[in-house]
Amino acid sequence: MNNISDLIKELVKYGKDKGLVDKEDEVYTINRLIELFNENEYAPSEDEVEFREIHLILEDMLAFAVEKGLVKDTIANKDIFDTKIMGMLTPPPSYVRKEFKERYDKDPKDATDYYYHFSRATNYIRDDRIAKDEKWTSETEFGLMDITINLSKPEKDPKDIAAQGAMKKSGYPACLLCRENEGYAGHLAHPARNNHRIIPITLCGEAYNLQYSPYVYYNEHCIIFNDKHTPMKIDRDAFAKIIDFVRQFPHYTAGSNADLPIVGGSILSHDHFQGGGYEFAMVRAPYEREFKIKDFPNVHAGTIKWPLSTIRLQSSSAEDIVDAADLILKAWRGYTDEDAFIYAETDGTPHNTITPIARMRGDLYELDLVLRNNITTEEFPAGVYHPHQEYHHIKRENIGLIEVMGLAVLPARLKKEMSVLEQAILNGEDLSAKPETESHKEWAEGWIKKYDDINADNIHRIVQNEIADVFSHVLEDAGVYKRTEEGISAFKRFTDMFE
C-alpha cells in the first residue's frame, strides 16, 4: 500500500479511533496532510481497511516522502518529518488541557491515564522504539531490582552529525525542558515536538508543567518542570513542591535529582522533578533503625534497608514533613565527619546534598532523603561516592534519581557485549581474546566458579542476575555510609543530632 491517499485515510482513521481527530475535523485534517505531501487530490480506495500500528503507517508515509524528495533519507530528518505528520493529527494545547482538567476534577488517575495514552497515541512516546529496550528484574540483597539496557535512542547517522555541526546554535527553546518545546517543529540539533502537549499545574503557588518523558524508562515516567528556565535547587521549596505534587496526584511518586554535579542529573539548568506510576524497589525497603526528631514529634523517622544512605520520613502533616526534611538538609549541607570521610566542603566547594523522593503511603506523606556527597580524590577521580573503577565495565555513569530508586539504566553497548560474553563462556574461550569480553573478564571469572552448571539454557539469566548484583554494589558505592558496623555507627552519629 503506497498510495498516499490510502495512507492518509488509514492515518486519519487511526487518529479518530485514538481520540486525536474529531469527526468534524476529518476533511480539514485530510487537507492539511495532502498539503504536507504536496498533493492536490485525495482519492483513496473505497475499501474499508483496518489501521496498523502507528510506526508502520508512518514508515510507509516516510518512504513516499523520501521518494518524492520531500525529506532526506536520514533518521534525524525523518524524525522531524514524521513528527510534523503527527502534529497535524494532534489537537491544540487548549483542547488537551480542558480534557485533562475535566477528568482531573472527577479523578486524578483518570486524567493521567488519558494524558499518558494521548502521549503515546500522538507518537510523542515512540512505543516501537521503547519496545527495543531490554528489561528484566533480579532478586538482590535489597529486593527485586529493575534493570534496563537502553536501546530506544537510535544510533546517530554520521550525515546528521555532520549537518548538525554546521548549524548555528540557537537559544530557542533554551533547553529540552522549556515550555517553548510545545508544538516546536525542531531541526537537526533539536528534537521535533509538533505533537507535544504539556499540562500546566501549580505547585505551592508556582507555575509548573507536567509531561511524560519521551523515553519512558518506567511506567508513566513523567517530568514536572518549572514554567521558567531556572536552575534546579534542592531546598525547602523543592521538598514542599514534590509533597504538593503527590498530594494532587496521590497515585504518582515525585522526586528530584540532587543539585550538584556527579551525584545529580543531566539537566541541572532547568528546575524539574521526575515522577510516575511505577513501584520501585526502594518503596518496598523497610525501616531498619528508627529515631526521633525532637522538634517534630508528628514525623516518624528512620533509616531504611537500602544501599544508599537514606532517611525516611512519614507524617500526616505536609508542613511538618517538609520542615523536618529542611532541618535534615540544612544539617547535612554543613556536616563534616572526618572519620567517615564526609566533608561538607573542600576549598570552598560544597559537597553535600540530598536526592529527595516523595510518595503517599496510604494517608501519610512519605519522603525519602538520600544523603549524597560528590567529593573526588586522587584514588577516585570520578567520585568517592560514585560507581568504583571495578564496575565501570558495566556502569560508569552518574547514579541519578532513577537509579537511586532501584532501576538501573545501562548503556546500549552492554547488549552486544553480554551476548558475546555468554557465547564465549559456553565455548570455554579465553575472555581476554575479544574486545567485547576483555573488560568483563575479571568480573565473569569471579562468578563462573559459583555455578555448578552453566549451559545454553541458563547462561542469559545468570548474566542478568550478575549484572543486577553489580548494580546493587554500585549503589552501595554511591552510599555515603557503608553498611558495615563502622558505617552504621557513623550514620547514627548524624541522626543523633536530631534526637
| Burial (CB count <10 Å: 0-12, 13-18, 19+), residue 232 | buried
* 146 bridge partner residues: 137, 407
CB of 404 to Zn ion, least distance (A): 23
Which C-beta is closer to Zn ion: that of 222 or that of 342? 222
Q: Pattern 254-293, binding to Zn ion, x per CB under 5 A?
A: ----------------x-----------------------
CA 269 → CA 152, 176, 224, distances in Å?
A: 25, 10, 14
Span of 49-57, 222-230, 458-466, 475-483 interacting with Zn ion by CB under 5 A:
222-230
Which C-beta is closer to Zn ion: that of 200 or that of 250? 200
CA 5 → CA 26, 31, 209, distances in Å?
A: 14, 11, 37
Span of 163-171, 175-183, 236-244, 349-357 interacting with Zn ion by CB under 5 A:
175-183
Alpha carbons 314 and 295: distance in angstroms, whole number: 14
CB of 74 to Zn ion, least distance (A): 27
Which residue in the block uniquely carries the three cell numbers 550478575?
466
Span of 11-19, 114-122, 221-229, 446-454 interacting with Zn ion by CB under 5 A:
221-229
CB of 175 to Zn ion, least distance (A): 3
Q: According to CB under 5 A, which residues from 331 to 370 bind Zn ion?
A: none
* 255 bridge partner residues: 274, 357
Name the 3-class secondary structure at 369.
Answer: strand
Name the 3-class secondary structure at 171.
Answer: coil
Which C-beta is closer to Zn ion: that of 177 or that of 409? 177
CB of 153 to Zn ion, least distance (A): 20
Which C-beta is closer to Zn ion: that of 172 or that of 363? 172
Q: Does 174 bind Zn ion (CB under 5 A)?
A: yes
Name the 3-class secondary structure at 16.
Answer: helix
CB of 201 to Zn ion, least distance (A): 17
CB of 269 to Zn ion, least distance (A): 7
Q: According to CB under 5 A, which residues from 150 to 169 bind Zn ion?
A: none
Residue 107 CB-half CA count within 13 A: 4
How many chain residues are in contact with Zn ion, going by CB under 5 A? 6
Closest listed residue to residue 403, CA positions, set 242, 264, 214: 264
| CB distance 272 to 222 below 8 Å | no
Q: Does 179 bind Zn ion (CB under 5 A)?
A: no
C-alpha cell, 331: 544539617
Which C-beta is closer to Zn ion: that of 175 or that of 318? 175
DSSP letter at 226?
Answer: E
Which C-beta is closer to Zn ion: that of 203 or that of 470? 203
Which C-beta is closer to Zn ion: that of 66 or that of 174? 174
Which C-beta is closer to Zn ion: that of 17 or that of 180? 180
Which C-beta is closer to Zn ion: that of 174 or that of 488? 174
Span of 226-234, 320-328, 344-352, 472-480 interacting with Zn ion by CB under 5 A:
226-234
Cβ atoms < 10 Å from Cβ of 304: 19
With CB under 5 A as the contact rule, the residue among 151, 175, 283, 382 that binds Zn ion is 175
Which C-beta is closer to Zn ion: that of 176 or that of 488? 176
> Which residue type is seen at 411?
P
CB of 241 to Zn ion, least distance (A): 17
CB of 37 to Zn ion, least distance (A): 33
Which C-beta is closer to Zn ion: that of 270 or that of 388? 270
Residue 186, Ramachandran bin (φ over 0: left; ψ between -120 and 50: alpha; else beta): left
| CB distance 384 to 377 below 8 Å | yes
Span of 32-40, 174-182, 199-207, 452-460 interacting with Zn ion by CB under 5 A:
174-182
With CB under 5 A as the contact rule, the residue among 86, 147, 149, 178 that binds Zn ion is 178
Please state whether beta strands 143-149 and 407-410 pair in parallel, antiparallel, or not at all (unpaired). parallel
Cβ atoms < 10 Å from Cβ of 275: 25
| CB distance 257 to 355 below 8 Å | yes
Cβ atoms < 10 Å from Cβ of 54: 22
Span of 138-146, 224-232, 299-307, 419-427 interacting with Zn ion by CB under 5 A:
224-232
With CB under 5 A as the contact rule, the residue among 58, 177, 324, 414 that binds Zn ion is 177
CA 483 → CA 142, 303, 376, distances in Å?
A: 12, 12, 21
Could you list the residues that contact Zn ion (CB under 5 A)? 174-175, 177-178, 229, 270
